[in-house]
Homo-oligomer: A and B are copies of this chain.
Amino acid sequence: MDAKHPVRTTEKTLTLVEELMRRGPAGVTELAEGVDMGKSAVHNHLTTLRDHGYVLKTGDRYQLGLKFLEVGGSIRKSMEFYQVAEPEIKSLADETGELANLLVEEQGTGVYLMRSKGEDAVDLDTYAGLRTNLHTTALGKAVLAYLPESRVEEIIERHGIEPETPRSIGSREELFDALESVRERGYAIDDGERLEGLRCIGAPVKSSSDEVLGAVSVSAPMSRVSDEELHGELSERVLSAANVIELNINY
């Protein structure tokens, strides 16, 4: 639901922040054109953000500062789910040698909380903090499968089901079918849907009251993981990691 009385000045500041995130280091005039504000207004907002550490200035260019990482990091650190899961994700990565990931749902989209690279891990362009559609990844499907159906409907309504690649899910029926098989198997698969040649396997983590807290996954190149391994050893490792996290969180 939208705010009844939004603070327009704050909205301008936030627009500017997002413009800076898109562009990286940029000048005042450039930004002013990008966000459709006057130069003086942009300048005032930037210097204000600078005073508080959110923006840095080098020469005549402004850029976002690590204050955002400070705030974001402190939020993440305060999440019990992250604290408990962190060492398990690391083990998962080290044991499999592949890329292990941790994701939570927030506002209908997925947010990567961390990723840990094993010895042979592929180098994806994911990173802690990255947002992703839930229906396009194994992680997301693992979460959706154990969310109440009403929430899934809400999320579809709010974010749609755009396929990101030819192979990925692109309709309501496909999605609900997929979620059904996730529930049958207990884990979710992404077989080259998001990236050609990449296989992912994701498992949900649930609280003692059966609410989904997030999901765990491993991503590996197809060349290294046969169908047999996928549904055998690898899925077992991922499920086991998810299980350990569940046990540790519920004491």
Stretch at the interface among A45-53, A166-174, A185-193: A45-53
**A contact residues vs B (CB 8 Å cutoff):** 2-7, 9-11, 13-14, 17, 21, 24, 40, 43-45, 47-54, 56, 64-66, 68-78, 87, 90, 94, 104, 106-107, 111, 113, 117, 127-131
Determine the distance from Cα of A94 to Cα of B128 in the docked complex, in whole angstroms. 21
- Closest chain B residue to A2, Cβ basis: B51
23 cross-chain CB contacts under 8 A: A3-B44, A4-B47, A6-B44, A6-B47, A10-B10, A14-B48, A14-B49, A14-B54, A21-B71, A21-B75, A24-B78, A56-B106, A65-B75, A65-B106, A66-B72, A66-B111, A69-B72, A69-B75, A69-B128, A71-B72, A73-B127, A73-B128, A94-B94
Instruction: Indicate which residue in B5, B47, B73 contacts A3 across the interface (CB closer than 8 Å).
Output: B47
